[in-house]
Amino acid sequence: MAVTLPERLKVRDMLIVDADVHVSDTPGGLAPYCEMPWRKSLEALDQGPQRYLDIPGFAPSFKLDPPIPGGHAARSVRTAAEMREELSALSIDIAVLFPDNLLLFAPIPNIEYATALSHAYNRWLMEEWLTREPGLYGALLACPQNPEDSAREIERYAKEERIAAVYLPTAGVNPLWGHRKYDPIMAAAEAANLPVLLHSVTVISPAFPCELDQFENHFARQVLSHSFAMMSNLVSLMHTGVMARYPNLKVAFTEAGVAWVPYFMWRMDRYHEEYRRMVPFLEKRPSEYMKERMWFATQPLEEPDNPQHLVDIIRMYDGENRTLYASDWPHHDFDHPKSLMNLPMPLETKRKIMGENALELFSKIAVPAGKIP
């Protein structure tokens, strides 16, 4: 039965599903869940400086910029109780959890260590976060260094009610996620009905998007890194036929905004028309795959001088049905739910973006009692 909406719906009355929230994953926190001998490595790392997104051997980062006083301090949430309290204060009912430091997981070169670290993170996520508080769901960490093991991890956790997705580390991943070496991950995710979520972060790496070292400061690198990483991986998934080989696989792109989506949709369709003989396995235009089985998270939400321009862009890629709300909590540049609720678009569209689209993507998410889905 259709729900009759009031003329105005306040944030606290609407179901809000946040597709991008970050937990504090430190070496010391993961150490008890890690296999030997790598547990000793994490314990040793825990004795060193705990810099944000810059821990050698754990969150490898090639920092080029000098420290500049007065910037935004890094902030992390360290317990499930703290997370639940803070999200509730923002009227966020449900959150999909990603790591912080392990956003930089893909460039770790040691296969055995990366495998053990992925196991430790998944155990820690289940034990310390997903079983402690309501409304917290996890994205299982896939290990691009060991796709076969990742497939087994997905099978192992597939029936866990709070595992809602598979996280594909995107910063510095090499090769990109469309490569056939990752087929075991895609097949396992499809079989488990778990969407795969790509999430990037700025990193200096020889992997695409490369040449970030050519820019003199983080302003330039941040402008380019996230959206370029998503574009390159989207083309990778498309040109190798991942979306055709796995007809029930769902894919979402997080923390790259949404303004790039219609441009890229049109560009791929243009060249698919010209070079379609090179990709005969694509039985549809790229835009059709995108509109059927791809979602795009809002954070960082673009802020044009005229908000109507952003609303128009969202409509251009069927964003009423393809867009997910994401805050990026607890980072300093997070987007409050009100930032999207204030856009000049119909209440029905807001209801979809804030929660309903996520219910279609994440089959395991349950609607809390008393909320309008």
Task: Look up residue 216 and give its two tokens.
Answer: 């003199």
Q: Which amino acid is at 231?
A: M
What's the confidence (pLDDT) of residue 8?
54
What's the confidence (pLDDT) of residue 5?
47
Tens of pLDDT, residue by residue over 114-143, are: 999 999 999 999 999 999 999 999 999 999
Q: Helix, strand or coil for residue 280?
A: coil
φ/ψ of residue 229, rounded to 5: -65, -40
Distances (CA, A) of 12 to 87, 88, 89, 326: 12, 9, 10, 16
Full set of structural domains in the chain with CATH: 11-64+73-361 (3.20.20.140)
Q: How far apart are CA 191 and CA 207, in angstroms?
A: 29
pLDDT along the chain (373 residues), means of 10: 49 89 97 98 92 89 82 86 97 97 96 98 98 97 98 97 97 96 98 97 84 87 90 96 98 97 97 95 97 97 96 97 97 93 95 97 87 66
- pTM score, whole prediction: 0.94
Q: How far apart are CA 55 and CA 103, in angstroms?
A: 12
What's the confidence (pLDDT) of residue 4?
46
DSSP 142-210: P-TT-HHHHHHHHHHHTT-TTEEEEEEE-TT-SS-TTSGGGHHHHHHHHHTT--EEEE------SSSS-
Q: Which of 103, 117, 189 is nearest to 146 (CA)?
A: 117
What's the confidence (pLDDT) of residue 107?
95
What's the confidence (pLDDT) of residue 9?
58
Q: How far apart are CA 217 and CA 213, in angstroms?
A: 9
What's the confidence (pLDDT) of residue 63?
79
Residue 211 is classified by DSSP as -
Cα-based angle 100, 51, 27 (whole degrees, multiple of 5): 60
Q: How far apart are CA 26 and CA 48, in angstroms?
A: 11
Tens of pLDDT, residue by residue over 322-357, are: 999 999 999 988 999 999 999 999 999 999 999 999
Residues 53, 104 contacting (CB under 8 angstroms): yes
What DSSP element (H or E) covers 348? helix 347-351
Residues sharing a CB contact under 8 Å with residue 36, sequence separation 6 or more, in sequence order: none
